Structure formats: structure tokens, C-alpha cells
Structure 1
Amino acid sequence: MIQDEGFAYGYLKLTYCLRKNFNLIINKKKVFRLCKELQVLRPQRRIKTRHPRRLARNRVITGPNQLWETDLKYGYIAGENSFFFILSIIDVFDRSIVGYHIGLACEARDAAITLKNALLKRQLYEAEKKPAIRSDNGPQFISNLFEGTCVELSIEHERIPFKMPNKNAHIESFHAILEEECLSRYEFESYAEAYEIVDKFMRFYNKVRIHSGIKFFSPMECYQLLRENRLELKPVRV
């Protein structure tokens, strides 16, 4: 054993070192106890959170582009025995799907790109005041890349408490619609087929499908009427 080899080792590495260099039959629990008794136990590393978690707060939404909700949904491709991913962003007030990603994978960069595209679509990329974005605690949304993108764009990102999907009710409701009216109706043979059908449904939902929560207009009609001050909706409490 090299002198001072174990100086910076924690109890787990010391266990393997003692087994390897001295042929000792010893487990990590005993090494932990001995290190603790001898007061040579290395302190546990603290994982620093780069971006502090901001919990979703109660809001009263009075117009479009104040709060967007986002979440991920899975679809199944029977012909390829594989899953695909749908990430959607909904405007809580006018119910529009302002951005979505369909892919065989969905990583943090996909979520970040989808958010940027949604801002561009609504001509908000350079706007001083941008919508807040609310998500669950999925790996795409807690990543440094997505959080960093929100900071870069000056967007407030808030995450719902664990096991409280009701705080993300509008995107959950949309994904229930997506499942009932689209995904459950098809047995996809290929990813290309799944992409085409889901993409078509997204356009149908935004442009054609009427919604009782916005006075039986389609989301796109609702958004346009709101912009022209020709429609008044009740505030949405989330």
C-alpha cells in the first residue's frame, strides 16, 4: 500500500483498499464504525443545488401568456414495441398548446428548445415580461440545462410539490384529452405514423376543437379574440 494512499478515502474506498492490500475480510459497516470511533470519518460531500427549487405558488391568471404549464406523456408504438414521448406546453388561460415536442427521446435540451420555440411562436422571445412556466419534478425540468435556459430567458420556473398533480391540472387535463381522443384510438405501426397522427391532433386541438372552459371556442380562436379585446373570460385560479 502506498503511504498516505487512504488519506482522502471515505469508508467505502477504505473497505476495498483493506480487502485488496491486506486480504482482510471486512465489510463497509465495520469500517464505518471504526472510522467513526477513531474520528477519522470523512465528511459526506454536499451536493450543491445550482438553481434553488421554487415551489408553485397560488396565482390568479387574468390573461394569456401569464402562466404556462408543461408535462411529459408517453405513447406506445406497437409495431416497434417501443415508447415515444410527447412534451406539451399549455397556456393556462386560453388553453392553447403553445409548444410541443414529439420524439423517441425527451431530454432536458428538448424541453429547453420547446420552450424557446413557444416563446418565438407567441412573439415573446425578446419581450420584457414573459410567462412563468410550471412543471413537475421530472428529470428534464430539474436539470441545470433547463433551469439555466429559464434564467437566460428571464422566465420564472416553478415546480409543483411532489404527489400534487392538481397543481398542474391544465396540462394533466390536456394529456387526458390526448390519450382519449388520439392515442387510445390507434395502434401505431411505426414512429413515423405516430408522429404524423399526434402532430395532426395537436393542430386540430388548437385550431378546431372547441373547449367548454373558454366559452366553446377553439384555443386559437379564443387567443385571437382575447388579443382583439372581443372576449372576456373569468380569471383562472391555480
Structure 2
Amino acid sequence: MVGLSRARYAEQPPQLRVADAPVQEALRVLIGRHGGWGFWKLHHRLRKNGLRINHKRTLRIYRAMGLNLPRRRTKRLPARVKQPLAVPTSANVCWSLDFTSDVLTDGRRFRTLNVLDDDNRQLLGVEIDFSLPASRVVQVLTRLVECYGRPTQLRTDNGPEFISARLGDWCEKQGIDLHLIQPGKPTQNAYIERFNGSFRRELLDAHLFRSLAHVRQLVADWMHDYNTQRARQALYFMTPIEFKQAA
């Protein structure tokens, strides 16, 4: 082995390259159809398709072809303080925020940002677009504060738009407490989660949307009915607007 280069030493013999060719071609076909499949799914499909191959050989060829999928790294979130779901005593004590999503008839996915007053359950706003980054969330909240006044607290989950520095800085300047619930604990944001269920069942799942303009029109009509016509048992069978006016 003295004087033999590493590249020459690691080079596959010609007969091995020829034997691997059918497996490589089969892998290319599978990857073309199922780009998100990992090693084990590909290996079992090769076996099911009639190739007599063990997993070690499949893995060697799989790695040599550079098919390894990137590992998903779990994003570590800071510890959140567990707090019971407080019952607000007046409007603007706490607003809850959350996203929902659906698709248009042409397959494009859109999102909605829903903002709810926890006290009177009034739906303060629904922002609709294909993309709603943190900067857009701040714009929506700024507009709602101008219309309804400044809340004491915002309650959200740990979505990237809500844990962003942009929203945190805005809340600090406004003197608003941004409360992030514990990851995986949606019951800590129960008011907006309960609303999202009704919103999806009665509106998103009940219609086929042709365009964003169509979505916005239907949401505006539904929002008006929700705030002014729908009596809620939790509000002593008053509508959100009636409960707010009676407070």
C-alpha cells in the first residue's frame, strides 16, 4: 500500500460500479417521484420492487449519490411561565392572537390573523393575505390600537411571528405585556382556540374561495354577524357588542 494515494485506495473497482448501476437508476426514479423520502422508505420500496439488496448496500449507494436528507433541528424555546387562564374583567385587558389558514380554489394557500378581545369575545380584526410576517402583525395591531385603544396584555402561542424581536420591541414601546403560552399547551390560549374552531367550521370549511377578495368579503360579512347578532351563553346570552356596551 506504500505510495498509493487515498483517492486510488478508495476508488470502487469497475465490477462494483457496474453492479451498482441498476440500484442507482432505481433510486433516481424513486427520488424523482418522492423527493421527500428518506433512506428507509427508499430501501423498502426497492425491496418491494424486486431488487434483492440488503440495507447496508442501499445505504452505501444512497450516501455515495448524496441523497442524505438534511436533519431537522429542533428550535429551542425559552421556558415559559405556566399561568392559569385569567378571566378578564373589562375590555382591553387582554387580546388573544392566532393564525388559521386555508387554500383558494387554484391551490394557493392563504393565512388569517385573528385578534379577539378575551373579555367580551369581540372579534377585533381578521387580516387576510398569502403572507403575514411579523411586520404585518405589528401594522395590524397598530391599526387596532388606534381604533379600540391599547390592551394591557397580548396572549399568543410561540409562532415565529409572535416571538420575533419586531413584535417584542413594539409591545415594549407601547407598554403592552406580551405573554407567550407554554409550547404545546393550546388550552392556555383557550379563548382564541375556541374561536378558531367556530371560524373554521362555519366559514373556512363551508366555502370554496376563488380569490383573496372573495375571502375578505365573506369574512367581513361573517365578522359582522359574529359581533352583532350571535348571542353567547358565556356573555349571558348577549352578543359581543351588547356585552361591551352593557359593561
What's the TM-score once normalised by structure 2's chain length? 0.65
Distance apart, 1:96 and its partner CA: 0.6
Is residue 99–residue 115 contact of structure 1 (8 Å, CA) maintained in 2?
no
Distance apart, 1:194 and its partner CA: 1.3
C-alpha distance in 2 between matches for 1:89 and 1:139: 17
Is residue 131–residue 155 contact of structure 1 (8 Å, CA) maintained in 2?
yes
C-alpha distance in 2 between matches for 1:191 and 1:67: 29
Write the deviation string for residues 106-137 of structure 1: whole angstroms up to 9, x where unpaired. 1101111122222122133xxxxx32000000
Q: Which of the numbers 136, 144, 148 marks the counterpart of 1:110?
A: 136
C-alpha distance in 2 between matches for 1:225 and 1:112: 30
C-alpha distance in 1 between matches for 2:90 and 2:130: 34
Structure 1 vs Structure 2 CA RMSD: 2.6
Corresponding residue number in structure 2 for 1:69: 96
C-alpha distance in 1 between matches for 2:110 and 2:233: 30
Partner of 1:115, secondary structure, is: helix
C-alpha distance in 2 between matches for 1:55 and 1:74: 28
1:94 maps to 2:120? yes
Alignment of structure 1 residues 176-215 onto 2, 5 Å: 176-215=197-236
Structure 1 unmatched runs, 5+ = 1-22, 24-48, 125-129, 227-238
Structure ranking higher in helix proportion:
2
Return structure 1 stretches of 4+ with deviation > 3 angstroms.
52-56
Distance apart, 1:165 and its partner CA: 0.2
Distance apart, 1:53 and its partner CA: 7.1
Distance apart, 1:60 and its partner CA: 4.2
Is residue 56–residue 161 contact of structure 1 (8 Å, CA) maintained in 2?
yes
Structure 2 unmatched runs, 5+ = 1-6, 8-76
Is residue 89–residue 97 contact of structure 1 (8 Å, CA) maintained in 2?
yes
Is residue 80–residue 182 contact of structure 2 (8 Å, CA) maintained in 1?
no
Is residue 68–residue 133 contact of structure 1 (8 Å, CA) maintained in 2?
yes
Q: 1:224 to 1:56 in 2, by over 3 A?
A: farther
Q: Which of the numbers 157, 169, 173 marks the counterpart of 1:148?
A: 169
Distance apart, 1:154 and its partner CA: 0.6
1:72 maps to amino acid = F
Distance apart, 1:57 and its partner CA: 2.5
2:176 maps to amino acid = I
1:171 maps to 2:192? yes
Distance apart, 1:147 and its partner CA: 0.8
Q: 1:53 to 1:134 in 2, by over 3 A?
A: farther
C-alpha distance in 1 between matches for 2:165 and 2:138: 11
Alignment of structure 1 residues 77-88 onto 2, 5 Å: 77-78=104-105, 80-88=106-114
Is residue 92–residue 149 contact of structure 2 (8 Å, CA) maintained in 1?
no
Structure of higher CA gyration radius: 2
Write the deviation string for residues 4-38 of structure 1: whole angstroms up to 9, x where unpaired. xxxxxxxxxxxxxxxxxxx9xxxxxxxxxxxxxxx
Corresponding residue number in structure 2 for 1:37: none
C-alpha distance in 1 between matches for 2:172 and 2:246: 31
1:198 maps to amino acid = V
Write the deviation string for residues 149-168 of structure 1: whole angstroms up to 9, x where unpaired. 11111100010101100001
